[in-house]
Amino acid sequence: MLYNFDEIIERRNTNAMSTDGFREYIFNAPQEMKFPFADDEFIRMWIADMEFATPPEVIQAIKDRTEKRIFGYTKIFDPEYYNIFSKWTKKHYDWTFPKEHLVTSNGIIPALYELIDHICKPNEKVLILTPSYAFFKYAADFNNIETVCSDLINKNGNYEMNFDDIEMKAKDEKVSLCIFCNPHNPTGRVWTEKELKKVGEICLDNGLWIISDEIHCDLLRTEFKHTPMSKLFPDSDKIITCMAPSKTFNLAGLMISNIIIPEKKLREKWYKRHFSMENPLSVAAAQAAYEHGDEWVRQLKIYLDENFEFTRQYLEKNLPKAVFKIPEATYLAWINVQSYLPEDIDIPLYFANNVGVLLEGGNMFVANSDGYIRLNLACPRTILEEGLKRICTFLNK
Ligand SMILES: Cc1ncc(COP(=O)(O)O)c(C/N=C2\CONC2=O)c1O
């Protein structure tokens, strides 16, 4: 079956963050905030969900569940949920885990908020690598836990970890947790086994817990393979692995994610506080995605690879001073356009007001991100082309 990723799907009047939540999320502004562009004139390249219909197999599973007509309190009792998900992890990452280690959360971010509270004592600190998905810091802030940042080394768009800096910060006895992102948002790095072993050893040898956020682990460029951090440390029970169907199958609104907690005491803390009910439609969707979604993901990855190559050529031709490397994973293009920007601007606001493109960038990524914009390329190519055209036309003025 050939899936249609070129189809433009109307998202207005669906309570979508992408169309209606940008004022609050990007600008911390009221819905009344005015722009020179009408809402439906914006090219939306900001929040990380996709403009593609979820696989039809998932939609059918949701329809089938609605036929049962009762949507009472639900938990995951059927072992098939674990069997199907662990079959997916075995097939795609050659890794699996005991059933009792798996808990579900209505999102990885809510899980981070809870896990930080369970793991960190009041005066401890969380280590993150920057630039970073800002909710890693927000989750620490919410728990009144200090965030320590280790800047990735940026060699003209090629990012590496600064292991000496990570080790120095991990040796601080107050640092008790590292929230690690693999693949990395926003740089798109897929960390190699060698890099994972090195950072994992530094953290574990210094007594840190590791939350390995692997939400982007299925959306790699075709030639890359994901290695779960836990796979490299089979004897450690201090690595929590976070995965979800939300990024892979465009199901973020169904709020279901898979958190693998090997350490018994931490799992008991989780169950003591976590409200473990699930949305029955979300369970049906997630199970169908992992059971029937392989071919859709294969075709999606090809489409995304083509969008990245289109973007690389477009920028090379029309924005030659921009620094852009096709990322190893995610559908997010991380582009340094500093040489085209005035100093000290609010990058997302600058693009919203002058270009009519909604994007994330600059200080939205905690640190080490000045001059960068992040474009969501998970959209039909016609929309991508219009967004790139608007950006390049304006920046070349
Ligand atoms: C690394 C990472 N972890 C967790 C999440 C969210 O997980 P959830 O709570 O939905 O299960 C995202 C979504 N990233 C987004 C969402 O919009 N912009 C981003 O960069 C993410 O990039």
Indicate which CATH number applies to the domain containing 102: 3.40.640.10
State whether the beta carbon of 109 lies less than 6 angstroms from ligand 1.
yes
Tell which of 292, 311, 342 closes a domain. 292
Average pLDDT over residues 145-155: 97
Distance 70 CA to ligand 1 centre (A): 31
Does 103 sit in the ligand 1 pocket, CB within 6 Å?
A: no
Residues 260 and 324 in one domain: no
Residue 135 shares a structural domain with residue 259? yes
Output the six-digit token pair for 194.
């060698």
Asked if 329 and 189 touch (Cβ cutoff 8 Å), the reply is yes
Residues 233 and 252 in one domain: yes
Query: Cα(75)–Cα(44) distance, rounded to whole angstroms?
Result: 35
The number of the ligand 1 atom at minimal distance from the alpha carbon of 109 is: 9
Q: Does 51 share its domain with 88?
A: no
Q: What is the pTM of this model?
A: 0.98
Please indicate, yes or no, whether residues 358 and 327 belong to a single structural domain of this protein.
yes
Domain stops at, among 292, 308, 340: 292
32, part of any domain: yes
- pLDDT for 368: 97
Residue 192 within any structural domain of the chain: yes
Residue-wise pLDDT tens digits, 245-273: 999 999 999 999 999 999 999 999 999 99
- How sure is the predictor about 110, in pLDDT bands with cuts at 50, 70 and 90? very high
Mean pLDDT, the chain, rounded, equals 98
Q: Which atom of ligand 1 is nearest to the CA of 136?
A: 3
Q: Please state the rounded mean pLDDT for residues 293-318.
A: 98
Q: Are 116 and 136 in contact (CB under 8 A)?
A: no
Instruction: Say whether pLDDT at 276 is over 90.
Output: no
Q: Which two tokens stand for residue 334?
A: 């991380």
Is 168 part of a structural domain of the chain? Answer: yes
Q: Do 364 and 232 belong to one domain?
A: no
Asked whether residue 62 is domain-assigned, the answer is no
Averaged pLDDT, 85-97? 98
Measure the CA–CA gap between 241 and 264, rounded to whole angstroms: 14
Ligand 1 centroid, distance to 199 Cα (angstroms): 22
Look up the domain containing 282 and give its range.
71-292
Do 218 and 247 touch, CB atoms closer than 8 A?
yes
pLDDT tens digits, 23-68: 999 999 999 999 999 999 999 999 999 999 999 999 999 999 999 9
| One domain for residues 274 and 128 | yes
ipTM for the predicted complex? 0.99
Do 91 and 41 share a structural domain? no
Q: How remote is the CA of residue 378 from the centroid of ligand 1, in Å?
A: 14
Question: 116 C-alpha to center of ligand 1: Å?
Answer: 17
Q: Which of 366, 371, 341, 365 is nearest to 354 (CA)?
A: 341
Tell me the C-alpha distance between 236 and 263, whole Å.
Answer: 9
142, pLDDT greater than 90: yes
Q: Which of the listed residues 133, 212, 331, 365 should we mutate to test ligand 1's pocket, taking the one with most ligand atoms within 8 A of CB?
A: 133
**Cα-to-centroid distance, 241 and ligand 1 (Å):** 14
Q: At 209, is the secondary structure helix, strand, or coil?
A: strand
CA proximity to 224, closest of 305, 298, 329: 329
Cβ–ligand 1 distance for 185 under 6 Å, the answer yes
Please state, in angstroms and rounded to a whole number, the distance separating the CA atoms of residues 131 and 88.
30
Q: How far are the Cα atoms of 122, 181, 231, 232 from residue 176, in angstroms, in the given order?
A: 11, 17, 21, 20
Ligand 1 atom with minimal separation from the 17 CA = 17
Amino acid at 285: A
Query: Does residue 184 lie in a domain region?
Result: yes
Whether 239 shows a pLDDT value over 90: the answer reads: yes
Whether the pLDDT of residue 132 is over 90: the answer is yes
Cα-to-centroid distance, 213 and ligand 1 (Å) = 9
pLDDT at site 156: 87
Q: Please indicate, yes or no, whether residues 304 and 251 belong to a single structural domain of this protein.
A: no
Last residue of a domain, one of 272, 292, 312: 292
CA of 372 to the centre of ligand 1 (A): 18
Residues 82 and 199 in one domain: yes
216 located within any domain: yes
Which domain CATH number covers 388? 3.90.1150.10
Is residue 376 included in any domain, yes or no?
yes
State the distance from the centre of ligand 1 to the C-alpha of 287, rounded, in angstroms. Answer: 20
12 lies in some domain: no
Residue 78 and residue 199 in one domain:
yes
pLDDT confidence of residue 131: 98
Domain count, the chain: 2
Whether ligand 1 lies within 6 angstroms of the CB of 133 is answered as yes
Please tell me if the CB atom of residue 48 comes closer than 6 angstroms to any atom of ligand 1: yes
Distance CA 228, CA 123 (A): 30
CB 230 within 8 Å of CB 95? yes
Identify the residue whose C-alpha is closest to ligand 1 atom 16.
48
Looking at the fold, whether 223 and 86 belong to one and the same domain comes out as: yes
When pLDDT is cut at 50, 70 and 90, the band that residue 275 belongs to is confident
Shortest-distance Cα residue to atom 14 of ligand 1:
48
CA of 48 to the centre of ligand 1 (A): 7
Q: Convert the pLDDT of each residue in 312-367 to its tens digit.
A: 999 999 999 999 999 999 999 999 999 999 999 999 999 999 999 999 999 999 99
Q: How far is the CA of 271 from the centre of ligand 1 (A)?
A: 23
245 ligand 1 Cβ < 6 A: no
